[in-house]
Amino acid sequence: MVMFDFLGYCFRPRSVLGPHSQKMFCGFTPAVSKSALRATVRGLKLRRRTEVTLDDIARELNPMVRGWIAYYGQYTRSALYPLARYINQTLAIWLKRKYKRFHHRLGRARLFLEKIARENRRLFVHWRLGDGGKLA
């Protein structure tokens, strides 16, 4: 398969809906490169920063994610969903490290994070990226 990365976009063959004919065809379209953004989130080392609160993490992460959604969401917005899931996974692991009651319970940390997302949908920008019910 032919694919390449350029300016944070990954160009590869994807199914595309034709604008006039409304038929599916194979187009060589851009979408966010997974490796670029994951490396940036990993570089923040959120998992180990147990001295900060969830609000502090949101304050640090939201401007970056908002910019990513504006820049990379221009063409293939659905390609950002795996990034949102990765951020949620990182936040769940942060919860595990920060609070003793979640130490060996990643599932409970995820459920607690979902509860926070339901109560305060505006805390993280990527929580509004999804369609509603569950975390994006």
- Structural domain boundaries in the chain: 33-128
Both tokens of residue 98? Answer: 């920060």
Contacts of 64 (CB under 8 A, 6+ apart): 40
Q: How confident is the model at residue 135 (pLDDT cuts 50, 70, 90)?
A: low
- If one compares 75 and 70, the residue with the highest pLDDT of the two is 70
Both tokens of residue 95? Answer: 């919860």
State pLDDT tens for residues 17-56.
888 888 888 877 788 887 777 788 888 888 889 899 999 9
Q: 72: closest CA among 126, 4, 8, 6?
A: 8
Average pLDDT, the chain: 85
- pLDDT attached to residue 102: 92
Cross-sheet strand order for the sheet of 9-17: 4-6, 9-17, 24-32
Distance of alpha carbon 135 from alpha carbon 3, whole angstroms: 30
Average pLDDT of 106-124? 92
